[in-house]
Amino acid sequence: MDESDFDVPPGIDVLRVFCGPDGRHGNALGVVRDGGAWPDRADRQALAARLGFSETVFVDDPERGHLEIYTPGLRLPFAGHPVVGAAWLLDLEILELPVGEVFARQDGEFTWITARPEWAPPRTLERYASVAEIEALAGPPAGEGWLYAWAWEDEAAGRVRARAFPRRDDGIVEDEATGAAALLLSAELGRALNIVQGRGSQILTAPAPGGTVEIGGRVAPGRVRAGR
């Protein structure tokens, strides 16, 4: 998604989550601060589809951090970049989602959340032989289901190059930065990762106590064009 003067309806913040070290890129996120203005799920789904971001968050209680997350086509019980973005915007240490409580913290320029791998929607994590193969992908490889294509950039240092393809009929061809997939990859490999995804977004992960994983990244306000 390219930055632009795209006008969103009043009361909706647009953020970029998992920005790169230079402050660019990141995955666009719409945050509806007053979720009560959109009480009906059908209306929420319609708004998420209209905005066209990979996810839109509705804040039902800003003090308790009660959230609902929608893609353009469905409601999600959990997703990484929306929760990181909401934690940054609301400046809360605990967020309430259908899956349970998510703990958040700020550490310098990074916002971190702690989540369980089983909360993440199913993903196919497919390892490629080289970074060049990842970068050469012209679009989603043939197949069905949500694909996270990744390769080691530097295995010893935990540096990964990745791209994400939802492969669902909702207009999102490629997801710029995907916290849930990064969480699953970190859990599968059992180690901390420094992931560059999409055009240059950065996601950090670290194993945490009790089988949880921390996901961290930079968040910035942004006026971003919805849709692709």
The two three-digit tokens of residue 217, written as one number: 């990244």
- Residue 165: pLDDT band (50, 70, 90) is very high
The CA angle 23-202-48, to the nearest 5 degrees, is: 85
- Residue 7: pLDDT band (50, 70, 90) is low
> What's the pLDDT at 90?
96
Residues 6+ apart with CB under 8 A from 123: 146, 147, 148, 180, 181, 184
Other C-beta atoms within 10 Å of 83: how many? Answer: 28
> What's the pLDDT at 225?
45
Q: Is pLDDT of 65 > 50?
A: yes
Model confidence, pTM: 0.93
Q: Is pLDDT of 224 > 60?
A: no
Whole-number mean pLDDT of the chain?
A: 93
> What's the pLDDT at 223?
59
List b or e across 100-128, with b for residues whose CB sees 16 or more CB atoms inside 10 angstroms. Answer: eebbbeeeeebbbbbbbeebbeebeeeeb
The two three-digit tokens of residue 40, written as one number: 């009906």
Report the top-level CATH class of 119-216.
Answer: alpha beta
Nearest to 109 by CA among 141, 84, 128, 130: 84
R_g over Cα of the chain? 16
CA 37 to chain centre: 24
The Cα 151–Cα 134 span in angstroms is 7
The Cα 192–Cα 205 span in angstroms is 5
Average pLDDT over residues 147-168: 97
- Residue 169: pLDDT band (50, 70, 90) is confident
Question: pLDDT of 78-109, one tens digit each?
Answer: 999 999 999 999 999 999 999 999 999 999 99
> What's the pLDDT at 3?
39
One fold for both 12-101 and 119-216?
yes
> What's the pLDDT at 9?
76
> What's the pLDDT at 170?
85
Would you identify the CATH topology of the domain 12-101? Answer: Diaminopimelate Epimerase; Chain A, domain 1 (3.10.310)
Question: pLDDT of 44-58, one tens digit each?
Answer: 999 999 999 999 999
* Ranges of each domain in the chain: 12-101, 119-216
